[in-house]
A and B are shown apart, each in its own frame.
Chain A
Amino acid sequence: MLGLATVLTERGMEGITAFVPPAAPRAPKLQPEAAAPAAQVPWVPWAAWDAGTRRKIGIAGGALLGLALVAGLLYALVQTLLEPGAPRAPRQDTVVRPVLEEAAAPAAAAADSASAAPAAPPQAATPQEVTTPEETATPPEAATPPAPPSASARPPRSMARQAPRRPASESVFAPQPEWSSQVRRIGEVDAQTERAAMQILEAIHAAQEREHPPRAPASREAGHE
């Protein structure tokens, strides 16, 4: 209880005259007479504004500046992406196309070999694959088999495709000067080709024996006689 005492005793106070604390006055409403001079003033100096107004104006200005910067960046980005004839597109082609071609090349070679293998039986390939020892002495350029028609018909694509690579249809029995035997690389062919080559060699050997029978038995027979 708020109030002032009117009687004091040895143990306390009595007769309290109460009072109510005064309320804080409300802010006066903006009067039209007070607003009119402010509207007539064309420009109010910055220092005359209160701190809250200056802070709000600063925040609004900063936000507008930020929006302008973001809009500029977006515009520059869109212009860069949509610019016709930009050097970026050809660069993508040169990078991506060889990779795609490189990935497709083994598949095409496998398809060529797969299609050529069943069409040519082992016996039909013997004239090209099997060579006699006389043919081994021929120069390599003359003995080199011609390039497959599929490879010659294709236009040169890229440097990756031009790498030295043995064609799929090239025979492993092609005469090479450094080879001392026709079957030096026989382990690199499949078993069916190997068997066919061995049969052909045996047939050639048998034919040579028929044409030139061995003279040793005849001499022996003559010796006996």
Chain B
Amino acid sequence: MSETAEPLRWTVVEPVDGVTVHAFFFVPHAFALLDAVRKELPVFGLPLPEPVHVGGTEFRLGRLQGEPAALYLHGNGYLSVTRAAPSDDHDSGNWRALLQPADIWIALANAMAVSATMRQPAAALLRAGGALYFLAPSPPVMRKLLQALTPTVPDEPVLSAADVAQLCLAGAP
């Protein structure tokens, strides 16, 4: 399957702090009349990912409790979609300034919690105005995330993805 599947047509692919950022920029009004999946994930063609009802599912990994904005079944894994902080529409000219490092860590933490809960691989997607980001972490970034969400003492309080992101940003070199 993977041999015949074509890669997605990303607008930009650049590394940012150990994370390979795949960005797809679009004009939101161009997808206004399309269905919800196409408006949410405009880079995907047919077959479209299948929305998964999250309900009251708790996505836990260590002391992390992830809260993805949406979940889709795509092939052999899940797409974990995280909403970026409100800002102007992203485009190829301003995305480096508008893309927040905290949003990157939050999207990665949510995807890890989804993978651990659903027992399947997951892809970290970050949805912003006019842009869809796919974040591919490097092994050092994964280790840093695992360090941040691993509990050290029993009955440690639950952390949100934003808390884990703050821990990762505080320990960043």
Chain A residues with CB under 8 Å of chain B are 1-17, 19-22, 24-28
Contact = CB atoms under 8 A, between A and B. Distances in A.
Contacts of B156: 25
Contact of B62 (A9, A10, A22): A22
7 contacts: A4-B123, A5-B123, A9-B2, A10-B6, A11-B1, A20-B146, A22-B151
Contacts of B30: none
Contact of B154 (A4, A15, A16, A25): A25
Contacts of A19: 112, 115, 142, 146
CB-based closest 7 A-B pairs = A12-B75, A22-B150, A6-B136, A9-B5, A11-B5, A5-B123, A22-B62
A1 B121 contact: yes
Given A11-B75, A12-B2, A4 B122 contact: yes
A10 B76 contact: no
B172 interface: no
Nearest to B151: A25
A21 B151 CA distance: 11
Contacts, number: 102
A4 B134 contact: no
Nearest to A11: B5
Contact of B137 (A4, A9, A20, A26): A4
Given A10-B5, A25-B156, 17 more contacts: A2-B116, A5-B123, A8-B7, A8-B74, A8-B123, A9-B5, A9-B6, A9-B8, A11-B5, A11-B75, A13-B74, A13-B75, A19-B115, A22-B149, A25-B151, A25-B152, A28-B153
Contacts of B111: 4
A163 B139 CA distance: 117
A6 B7 CA distance: 12
A38 B150 CA distance: 30
B128 interface: no
Chain B residues touching A, range? 35 or more
B20 A24 contact: no
Interface string B112-129: 100110011111100000
Interface in B40-54: 44-47
A8 B20 CA distance: 12
Contacts of B8: 8-10
Interface of B: 1-2, 4-8, 20, 22, 44-47, 61-62, 74-77, 108, 111-112, 115-116, 119-124, 134, 136-139, 142, 146, 149-154, 156
B154 A13 contact: no
Contacts of B139: 17
Nearest to A3: B121
B35 to A, nearest CB: 17
A221 to B, nearest CB: 148
Contact of B45 (A2, A10, A21, A25): A10
Contacts of B22: 8
Contacts of B150: 22
A4 B5 contact: no
B149 A12 contact: no
A6 B2 CA distance: 13
B151 to A, nearest CB: 5
The winner among A5, A17, A19 for most chain B CB atoms within 10 A is A5
